[in-house]
Every structure is written in structure tokens, then in C-alpha cells.
Amino acid sequence: MRFPSEEDGRGIWELVKSTRVLDLNSAYSYLLLSKYFSDTCVVAEVEGKIVGFVSAFHPPKQPEVIFVWQVAVDEAFRRRRLGMNMLKHLLTREVCSTSRYLEITVNLSNKAAYKLYHQLADELKTSCVENECFPSRLFPGGQHEEEIMLRIGPLI
Ligand SMILES: CC(C)(COP(=O)(O)OP(=O)(O)OC[C@H]1O[C@@H](n2cnc3c(N)ncnc32)[C@H](O)[C@@H]1OP(=O)(O)O)[C@@H](O)C(=O)NCCC(=O)NCCS
């Protein structure tokens, strides 16, 4: 697990595409994250292939929060604690040393993600509070599921 660099943008895009459940953002957005937000993003690499990715940032008006945007693990590496370990690794970084809450949004139908984040809260011996974040009506096309906010913490 390490910080991403621009060289990883393509591999991250391919990994996110392969999940088929995550919103696939532009290749440019993954280059931006790798270049300007690498301190708060994580890639996991095995034999030169990107098999795990977490994107996150500190919301400018809430510096005590680490907001996690996307978490992806290659299908061949699932259920081996990689998702959990990338999130825990992020929280050990210097840039997160003053983070009091980890926030993430999830679709209710995504049972794996939902369980992962609740288990993270359990393992950190802290709370996980749910709130509405982005209801379906805010998305174009009326097809996107509601995004529920999970707020994990306090972390420190
Ligand atoms: C969600 C995802 C990131 C989990 O990654 P992972 O590396 O397989 O998860 P981990 O092995 O770290 O799992 C940790 C815990 O999460 C829960 N969990 C993870 N996957 C699960 C699944 N498919 N079903 C039920 N629980 C699951 C379990 O409690 C697990 O602990 P356990 O194995 O000790 O029971 C992965 O399935 C994925 O990339 N999915 C597609 C993209 C996605 O949905 N991302 C999240 C969007 S918000």
C-alpha cells in the first residue's frame, strides 16, 4: 500500500471500471487525485497491477473530517482484508493524525461496503452514525440510488 502517483491514474481507472458498481469517473479525475490528493489516497499494488484504491480528502470547511470518496478492491483480492487495511492505513498517515471523523457515503444495496464500514467502526471501537446525504432526486436521470452518509468516530 502506498501513495498514488500520476503513473497510477490509468490503473486506478481500470480497477474502478472493473468493479461495475462504482461510478466510473473520468481518467482525468483519477490523474488529479493521484497528483494533487495523493496524501489522502491509497493504492495497493501487486506485481505492478493496481488491485486496491481509496480516494479521500479533507473537506475544506471541515478539516477534522477525512471524507472517503471511492473504495475499490480487485475481485481476485476481495475478502482478504485489503479494503479494511487500506482504510486503516489511511488513518495512520500523518495527514490524518488530526482527523476526528471518517465520513463516507454508501448505497443501501451495497451490502459489502455497508458491512465493511460498520466493521471498521467496530474494530476502531467507535460509533457509526447514518444520515441522509445525497437523495436520488439530486442525480440526473432518476436512476442513481440514494447515498447515505456514514460518519465514523470520534477517532481521536
Ligand atoms: C466493498 C469492498 C471494497 C470490500 O473490500 P474487501 O477487501 O473485499 O473487504 P475486506 O476483506 O477488507 O472486508 C472487511 C469486512 O467487510 C465485510 N465485507 C466485505 N465484503 C463483504 C461481502 N461481500 N459480504 C459481506 N461482508 C463483507 C466483512 O465484515 C469483512 O470482514 P470479514 O471478512 O472478517 O468478515 C469490495 O467488495 C469492492 O471493491 N466492491 C466493489 C466496489 C464497492 O462497492 N466499493 C464501495 C463503495 S462505497
- Give residue ranges with CB within 6 A of ligand 1: 19, 21-22, 71-73, 78-84, 106, 110-113, 115-116, 119
- CA 3 to centroid of ligand 1, rounded, Å: 21
Q: pLDDT band at 132, cuts 50/70/90?
A: very high
pLDDT above 70: percentage of residues in the chain = 100
We report the CATH number of the domain holding residue 64 as 3.40.630.30
- CA 128 to centroid of ligand 1, rounded, Å: 16
pLDDT of the residue at 52: 98
Place of cell 480487485: 74
Q: pLDDT band at 29, cuts 50/70/90?
A: very high
Overall size of the chain counted in residues: 156
Residue 67 lies in a domain: yes
- CA 118 to centroid of ligand 1, rounded, Å: 11
Residue 62 lies in a domain: yes
- CA 38 to centroid of ligand 1, rounded, Å: 23
Q: How many domains does the chain have?
A: 1
How many other β-carbons are positioned within 10 Å of the β-carbon of residue 109? 10
pLDDT of the residue at 130: 97
pLDDT digits (tens, 9 = 90+) for 62-115: 999 999 999 999 999 999 999 999 999 999 999 999 999 999 999 999 999 999
Q: pLDDT band at 18, cuts 50/70/90?
A: very high
Which atom of ligand 1 is nearest the CA belonging to 105?
Answer: 48
| pLDDT at residue 142 is higher than 90 | no
